[in-house]
């Protein structure tokens, strides 16, 4: 049996994401590297803050989300939906892959309150559909004044996919016409 050969595969996120906040002034979507976790209020959790300056490491040029992985492997990151106040939102994560080989899995992060330091931490991952609608605070997690919900995104890069660069934008929709600048993404 031949040993598996890992070929580096630069992967700039190839997702079409949209968020819409109905009846809201603004809605934001932020990508975070896998090692920075958000709390239900949109801040980086205290134990991860020493690496917070690395949050921009997930962004390449022109503020495009950029992930690097190997063919035959996964790349992962957090998506954080932030609202200015509790309310309804929807998130649609889709992949633009004409070969239909690249696979995406989306998980909602469940927050647990720890008595020892009186803070919330994302812990369990709940599989959700790529089109997800809910409201903040999340009804089943019931965190008072929750204004952010984080999601874990796994992207599988098949071993036979061809490296290439693609670009796209996602659009935010909200009732504030000055908000909704979009969230650009690329894959290389």
Q: What tens digit of pLDDT does each residue of 10-19 get?
A: 444 444 444 5
Helices H / strands E in the chain, number of each: 0, 13
Q: Which of 111, 90, 139, 132 is nearest to 40 (CA)?
A: 111
Cβ atoms of 157 and 71 within 8 Å: the answer is yes
Q: For 92-121, what is each residue's pLDDT tens digit?
A: 887 767 777 888 899 999 999 999 999 999
150 falls within a domain: yes
3 falls within a domain: no
The domain tally of the chain equals 1
Cα separation, 135 vs 180, in Å, equals 19
Cβ atoms of 119 and 46 within 8 Å: the answer is yes
Task: Work out the average pLDDT over 34-41.
Answer: 93
3-state helix, strand, coil in the chain (%, to 5): 10, 50, 40
State residue 50 phi and psi, 5-degree precision: -65, -20
Q: How confident is the model at residue 66 (pLDDT cuts 50, 70, 90)?
A: confident
- Which of 62-66, 138-142, 154-158, 181-185 shows the highest mean pLDDT? 138-142
pLDDT at 175 over 50: no
Q: For 124-172, what is each residue's pLDDT tens digit?
A: 999 999 889 899 999 999 999 999 999 999 988 888 887 755 433 443 3
**Residue 61 sits in which domain range?**
8-187
70 falls within a domain: yes
Strands 87-95 and 131-136: antiparallel
Q: Please say whether the dihedral angle defined by the alpha carbons of residues 114, 50, 27 and 85, taken in this order, is positive or negative.
A: positive
- Which of 47-61, 69-83, 96-110, 138-152 shows the highest mean pLDDT? 138-152
Cβ atoms of 21 and 83 within 8 Å: the answer is yes
165 falls within a domain: yes
Q: How confident is the model at residue 60 (pLDDT cuts 50, 70, 90)?
A: low
Mean pLDDT, the chain, integer: 75
175 falls within a domain: yes
Q: Which of 103, 104, 121, 99 is nearest to 112 (CA)?
A: 121
């Amino acid at each position: 049996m031949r040993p598996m050969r890992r070929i580096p595969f630069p992967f700039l996120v190839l997702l079409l994401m949209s968020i819409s906040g109905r009846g809201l002034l603004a809605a934001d979507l932020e990508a975070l590297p896998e090692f920075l976790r958000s709390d239900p209020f949109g801040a980086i959790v205290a134990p991860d803050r020493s690496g917070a300056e690395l949050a921009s490491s997930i962004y390449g040029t022109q503020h495009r989300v950029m992930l690097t992985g190997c063919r035959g492997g996964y790349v992962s990151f957090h998506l954080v939906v932030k609202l200015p106040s509790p309310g309804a939102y929807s998130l649609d994560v889709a992949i633009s892959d004409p070969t239909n080989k690249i696979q995406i899995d989306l998980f909602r992060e469940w927050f647990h309150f720890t008595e020892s330091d009186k803070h919330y931490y994302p812990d369990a991952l709940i599989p959700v559909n790529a089109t997800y609608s809910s409201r903040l605070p999340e009804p089943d997690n019931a965190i008072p004044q929750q204004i952010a919900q984080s999601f874990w995104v796994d992207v599988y890069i098949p071993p036979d996919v061809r490296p290439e660069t693609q670009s796209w934008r996602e659009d935010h929709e909200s009732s504030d016409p000055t908000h909704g600048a979009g969230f650009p993404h690329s894959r290389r």
